[in-house]
Amino acid sequence: MNSTILNLKSRIAEVADLKSAAAVLEWDQETYMPDNAGEVRALQVATLRKFAHTVFTSDETAKLLDEATADDQESDEARLLSIWKRDFERASKLPPELVFEKTKAIGRAKESWKQARLHQDFTRFESDFSRLVDFARQESSIIGYDEHPYDTLLDEFEPNMTTREVKTVFEHLRSSLVPIVQTIQQCKQPADQFLYETYDVSKLWDLGMDVLHLVGYDFTRGRQDLSTHPFSTTFDISDVRITTRIAENNLVSGLFSTLHEFGHALYEQGVDPKWQRTLLAEGTSLGIHESQSRLWENHIGRSQAFWEYLLPHLQTKFPNTLQNITLSEFYRAINKVQPSLIRVDADEVTYPLHVLLRFEIEADLIEGRLEVRELPELWRTKMQTYLGVVPENETDGILQDIHWSLGAFGYFPTYTLGTLYAAQFFEQASFALDNLESQIRSGQYSPLKNWLKTHIHQFGRAKSAKELVFDITNTSLSAEPWLKYIKTKYGDLYEF
Distance CA 173, CA 483 (A): 8
Beta carbons within 10 angstroms of residue 417's beta carbon = 29
To Zn ion, the closest distance from the beta carbon of 260 in angstroms equals 6
Three-class secondary structure of residue 86 per DSSP: helix
Q: Provide φ and ψ at 237, rounded to 5°.
A: -65, -15
To Zn ion, the closest distance from the beta carbon of 176 in angstroms equals 24
Q: How many residues bind Zn ion (CB under 5 A)?
A: 1
To Zn ion, the closest distance from the beta carbon of 289 in angstroms equals 7
Distance CA 415, CA 485 (A): 17
Between 151 and 347, CB nearer to Zn ion: 347
Find, among 108, 106, 132, 98, the residue nearest to 375 by Cα: 132
Between 296 and 386, CB nearer to Zn ion: 296
Q: How far is CA 192 from the centre of its chain?
A: 27
User: Distances from the Cα of 479 to the Cαs of 297, 373, 418, 420, 496, in angstroms?
Assistant: 19, 32, 11, 6, 21
Active site residue 139: no
To Zn ion, the closest distance from the beta carbon of 346 in angstroms equals 14
Pairing assessment for the beta strands 232-236 and 239-244 based on DSSP bridges: antiparallel
23-31, 187-195, 292-300, 364-372 -> range binding Zn ion (CB under 5 A)? 292-300
**C-beta of residue 464 within 8 angstroms of C-beta of residue 160:** yes
Q: What order do you get walking across the sheet with 232-236 strand by strand?
A: 224-226, 239-244, 232-236
Beta carbons within 10 angstroms of residue 410's beta carbon = 26
The residue with its CB nearest to Zn ion is 293
Between 6 and 342, CB nearer to Zn ion: 342
Between 298 and 304, CB nearer to Zn ion: 298
Between 122 and 351, CB nearer to Zn ion: 351
Binding mask 460-489 for Zn ion (x = CB under 5 A): ------------------------------
38-46, 278-286, 289-297, 391-399 -> range binding Zn ion (CB under 5 A)? 289-297
To Zn ion, the closest distance from the beta carbon of 268 in angstroms equals 12
54-62, 291-299, 349-357, 390-398 -> range binding Zn ion (CB under 5 A)? 291-299
Does 243 sit near Zn ion (CB under 5 A)?
no
Find, among 449, 389, 404, 490, the residue nearest to 183 by Cα: 490
Between 278 and 293, CB nearer to Zn ion: 293
Does 293 sit near Zn ion (CB under 5 A)?
yes
Between 57 and 419, CB nearer to Zn ion: 419
Distance CA 467, CA 184 (A): 36
> Could you report how far apart the first and last alpha carbons of the chain are, in Å?
60
Between 140 and 293, CB nearer to Zn ion: 293
Between 383 and 422, CB nearer to Zn ion: 422
Does 258 sit near Zn ion (CB under 5 A)?
no
To Zn ion, the closest distance from the beta carbon of 351 in angstroms equals 12
To Zn ion, the closest distance from the beta carbon of 481 in angstroms equals 20
214-222, 235-243, 288-296, 482-490 -> range binding Zn ion (CB under 5 A)? 288-296
Burial class (CB in 10 A: 0-12, 13-18, 19+), 166: buried
Helix 163-186, helix 480-494: angle, nearest 10:
10
Distance CA 204, CA 322 (A): 14
To Zn ion, the closest distance from the beta carbon of 47 in angstroms equals 28
Instruction: Please enumerate in sequence order all residues whose Cβ is within 8 A of that of 455, keeping only pairs 6 or more positions apart, or say none.
Output: 425, 428, 468, 471, 472
Residues 115-134 that bind Zn ion (CB under 5 A): none
Between 243 and 293, CB nearer to Zn ion: 293
| Residue 120, Ramachandran bin (φ over 0: left; ψ between -120 and 50: alpha; else beta) | left
Q: Provide φ and ψ at 233, rounded to 5°.
A: -145, 145
User: Residues 261, 282, 290, 360: which is the catalytic one?
Assistant: 261
To Zn ion, the closest distance from the beta carbon of 468 in angstroms equals 17
To Zn ion, the closest distance from the beta carbon of 389 in angstroms equals 24
Pairing assessment for the beta strands 224-226 and 239-244 based on DSSP bridges: parallel
Which residues make beta-bridge pairs with 236? 239
Distance CA 370, CA 379 (A): 12
24-32, 239-247, 286-294, 365-373 -> range binding Zn ion (CB under 5 A)? 286-294
List Cβ<8 Å contacts ≥24 apart for 370-373.
371/130, 372/126, 372/129, 372/130, 372/133, 373/126
Residues that bind Zn ion (CB under 5 A): 293
Known catalytic residues are 261
